[in-house]
Amino acid sequence: MKILITAGMHGNEQSALLAVMKYREMIAARDDLDLDVDFAIINHYGLFNDQRNMRETPQEKVFDPNRMWEPVNIINGWGNAASAAEAIKEKLKNYELVIDVHNSPAISPCVVLSNTKYARNYVEFCNKNGIPFVAWESNTPTIKQYANEVVKIPAFTVELPELNSSQYSNVLTSHQASFIDRLVEACRKSDNCMDLPVANRSYLDPSQLYWKVKAHEKGVVEMLVELGARVKTGDPIAKIHRLPYGFFKKNAQPVATPAETVIAPVDGTIMVLDNMVRDKTDDICWIQPDVDLLNVEG
């Protein structure tokens, strides 16, 4: 299987790049002759300057390298990264699968599915192979969208938990690389992987996209369940500790009301966490609801 894996598309996502390098070591050690993987890194400027976006010279525009994958040529005025993107576009027809690896703070390893005309195919694939996913409304020109829409090959965006420098250990990076390996193996063994970007299904219902659980109070969030945990509607999932004002002595009772308990609004999986509520409308966590395609027409 001929695969292209990209990483470091956003320059401040170095742990995603490290996971991909670890995956490269894993498959090299296995010497798997049936697996032909190429790797591409576009945003060198962002990686070496710890910036999401890029502009390699003062004359170039500042832009997001994962928002420039338009069907038309976009080299003029955008500089080196756009030139690299155009070169990759020319080569994508030679691949059978594209995986674009990113990282985010406090996220459970997953693939991010856009609610396009291929969404049900991808959800069905993930459910069948036990691949965690987050589905959302997005129509941005990413490399995943370009591979699906223009080249008509399957493509995935992978989101891995962000690691800080003290966590760049062999154990943790190998754990992240194993998620990439798990996805690749699922694609290799699937009978219908190449049919994923075929519009023979339909969009997901909005209720099947991820739910943002909102706060009703400001404060510090104490999660009662772990990232990646399965929850049922009505389960307690977090407490919001309201912060007292002013000073108080060790034995004094702080002037604060009891913590608010937050319950799950839907059956699903905790995929993204936050740890501080700065406003009453801030997100506490994201829950990807269970998606049962057998019971939904489409």
Q: What is the CATH number of the domain that holds 229?
A: 2.40.50.100
**Of residues 7 and 274, which shows the higher confidence score?**
7
If asked whether residues 49 and 134 sit together in one domain, one would say: yes
Rounded Cα gap, residues 261 and 217, in angstroms:
10
Average pLDDT over residues 33-50: 83
8 Å CB contact between 270 and 228: yes
If asked whether residues 170 and 239 sit together in one domain, one would say: no
If asked whether residues 20 and 63 sit together in one domain, one would say: yes
8 Å CB contact between 7 and 41: yes
49 band by pLDDT with thresholds 50, 70 and 90: confident
Rounded Cα gap, residues 281 and 185, in angstroms:
40
* Within-domain flag for 205: no
Query: What CATH number did the domain enclosing 66 receive?
Result: 3.40.630.10
Give the position of tokens 């396009």: 116
**Of residues 297 and 252, which shows the higher confidence score?**
252
* Within-domain flag for 203: no
* Within-domain flag for 252: yes
If asked whether residues 164 and 138 sit together in one domain, one would say: yes
- Whether pLDDT at 297 is above 50: no
**Of residues 162 and 82, which shows the higher confidence score?**
162
* Within-domain flag for 166: yes
If asked whether residues 132 and 226 sit together in one domain, one would say: no
| Environment class of 33 (CB within 10 Å of its CB; exposed 0-12, middle 13-18, buried 19+) | exposed
Q: What share of the chain is helix, strand, coil (3-state, %, to 5)?
A: 30, 25, 45
- Whether pLDDT at 51 is above 90: no
Over the stretch 191-245, which tens digit does the pLDDT of each residue have?
888 888 886 667 888 989 999 998 877 778 888 999 999 999 999 999 888 766 5
Over the stretch 79-130, which tens digit does the pLDDT of each residue have?
666 677 778 888 898 999 999 999 988 899 999 999 988 999 999 999 999 9
If asked whether residues 184 and 226 sit together in one domain, one would say: no
Instruction: Give the Å distances, CA to CA, from 260 to 34, 237, 242, 245.
Output: 54, 11, 8, 17
Q: Which range has highest mean pLDDT (45-54, 86-95, 111-120, 277-286)?
A: 111-120
Last residue of a domain, one of 160, 195, 230: 195
* Within-domain flag for 200: no
Residue 137 tokens read as: 């409304």
Last residue of a domain, one of 195, 230, 248: 195
* Within-domain flag for 267: yes
Question: Containing domain of residue 63, as a range?
Answer: 2-195
If asked whether residues 80 and 158 sit together in one domain, one would say: yes
Last residue of a domain, one of 163, 195, 227: 195
SS (HEC) of 123-161: HHHHHHHCCCEEEECCCCCCHHHHHHHHHCCCEEEEEEE
132 band by pLDDT with thresholds 50, 70 and 90: very high
Average pLDDT over residues 270-289: 82
If asked whether residues 90 and 217 sit together in one domain, one would say: no
- Whether pLDDT at 173 is above 90: no
If asked whether residues 240 and 190 sit together in one domain, one would say: no
pTM of the full structure: 0.86
* Within-domain flag for 167: yes
If asked whether residues 46 and 128 sit together in one domain, one would say: yes
pLDDT of residue 234: 95
8 Å CB contact between 270 and 226: yes
* Within-domain flag for 66: yes
Length of the chain: 298
If asked whether residues 107 and 138 sit together in one domain, one would say: yes
Query: How many Å separate Cα 79 from the centre of its chain?
Result: 27
pLDDT of residue 82: 66
If asked whether residues 188 and 228 sit together in one domain, one would say: no
Residue 159 β-bridge partners? 102, 110
Average pLDDT, the chain: 83
Residues in contact with 37: Cβ distance below 8 Å, sequence separation at least 6, in sequence order: 3, 4, 5, 24, 27, 184
Domain total in the chain: 2
